[in-house]
Amino acid sequence: MKNLWKDTDAEALVAAYGQKGVERDLALRVYTTRLLGGEPRLVLHGGGNTSVKLEATDLVGDHWPVLCVKGSGWDMGVIEPQGLPAVKLAPLLKARALESLSDEDMVSLQRANLIDPGSPNPSVETLLHAFLPQKFVDHTHSTAVLAIVDQGDDSEALIRKVFGPKMGYVPYIKPGFDLAKAAAEIYDQDPSVEGLILDKHGIFTFAETAKDAYDLMIRYVTVAEDYVAQNTANPLVPVTLPKRLPDPAQIAPCCAGRSRCATAKAASTGWSATSVRRPRSWNS
């Protein structure tokens, strides 16, 4: 997959948003989110989401460490800064100690901690983004990655073989609190990983800069694409045709029904319609 990062484009967006008071890292988050969202092979299957960890100021002037994460209803390909609502990070991190958290309570927790209460709902994968420590987290449902992780019930061995030791393996769990917690535990077991492959789901990459997280996403999606290209079975089985094909006039009656097939019996090619094994239902 082609890496579309261009320094000039990134800096132009940083400058344009800077004039509107948008800080550099949020502008870069918008830039790479658009790069990811503009590529159908990354976002066909239910999209994906991105985040950046920043500081934000609320209405009374208090400063908070926040997670700016893609909001529901926003298209990554045309996202704006307001499509990445800021959620106070500390309460999200505190939730990791819970034994369980229903989807409804998770949404309530996320909404209750929005810096701007008018923001869209943060992504259902917000907690997973929060629990990973890196500043930039990218997540897609890449078609090539899905072609590998959707190979039957036991895809762990294949995933480890294709992506290698720098990508953590996360078994399938429905998106939500349980998946976020499991993914964070797998990350904690080996913080040297550059991303996570989620079985039957997609891929996360993360880094301290927008460019590095995006570069990793493109690199590992390319690994998946190369593997799929080299290992796709040819669905068309080659056959050898007879040297001399029968005349269309001789075989056409067979298409019209059994009784007329007999007329083709004496075909000069040596083909005999009656020598063809017929389905039992043809026998009267």
Task: Say which residue the tokens 């344009």 belong to.
Answer: 16
Smallest distance, Zn ion to C-beta of residue 12, A: 30
Dist CA 196 CA 186 (whole Å): 9
- Closer to Zn ion by CB, 17 or 206: give it: 206
- Closer to Zn ion by CB, 47 or 85: give it: 47
Amino acid sitting at position 31: Y
Helices (H), the chain: 7-18, 24-37, 40-43, 89-94, 103-112, 126-131, 143-149, 156-163, 177-189, 210-231, 248-256, 258-261
Residue 97 CA: distances (Å) to CA of 89, 94, 180, 195, 243:
14, 6, 12, 23, 74
- Closer to Zn ion by CB, 199 or 215: give it: 199
- Whose CB is nearest to Zn ion? 202
Q: Residues binding Zn ion: what is the number (CB under 5 A)?
A: 1
Segment contacting Zn ion by CB under 5 A, of 153-161, 183-191, 200-208, 238-246: 200-208
- Closer to Zn ion by CB, 27 or 168: give it: 168
User: Which strand ranges, in their side-by-side order, compose the sheet holding 86-88?
Assistant: 86-88, 63-69, 48-57, 136-140, 202-207, 195-198, 167-170
Segment contacting Zn ion by CB under 5 A, of 13-21, 56-64, 102-110, 202-210: 202-210
Residue 83 contacts residue 70 (beta carbons within 8 Å): yes
Residue 45 tokens read as 């299957």
Smallest distance, Zn ion to C-beta of residue 48, A: 6
Smallest distance, Zn ion to C-beta of residue 19, A: 33
Dist CA 133 CA 143 (whole Å): 26
- Closer to Zn ion by CB, 174 or 265: give it: 174
Residue 196 tokens read as 């996570």
CA angle 119, 122, 126 (to 5 degrees): 150
- Closer to Zn ion by CB, 85 or 176: give it: 176
Segment contacting Zn ion by CB under 5 A, of 110-118, 199-207, 245-253, 276-284: 199-207
Q: How many whole angstroms from its chain centre is CA 73?
A: 17
- Closer to Zn ion by CB, 10 or 42: give it: 42
Residue 124 contacts residue 198 (beta carbons within 8 Å): no
- The CB-side HSE value for 239 (13 A sphere, CA atoms) comes to 5
Smallest distance, Zn ion to C-beta of residue 50, A: 11
Smallest distance, Zn ion to C-beta of residue 125, A: 5
Smallest distance, Zn ion to C-beta of residue 139, A: 6
- Closer to Zn ion by CB, 85 or 202: give it: 202
Smallest distance, Zn ion to C-beta of residue 258, A: 55
Segment contacting Zn ion by CB under 5 A, of 73-81, 129-137, 198-206, 229-237: 198-206
Smallest distance, Zn ion to C-beta of residue 47, A: 8
- Site map 149..188 versus Zn ion, x via CB under 5 A: ----------------------------------------
Would you tell me which residues interact with Zn ion (CB under 5 A)?
202
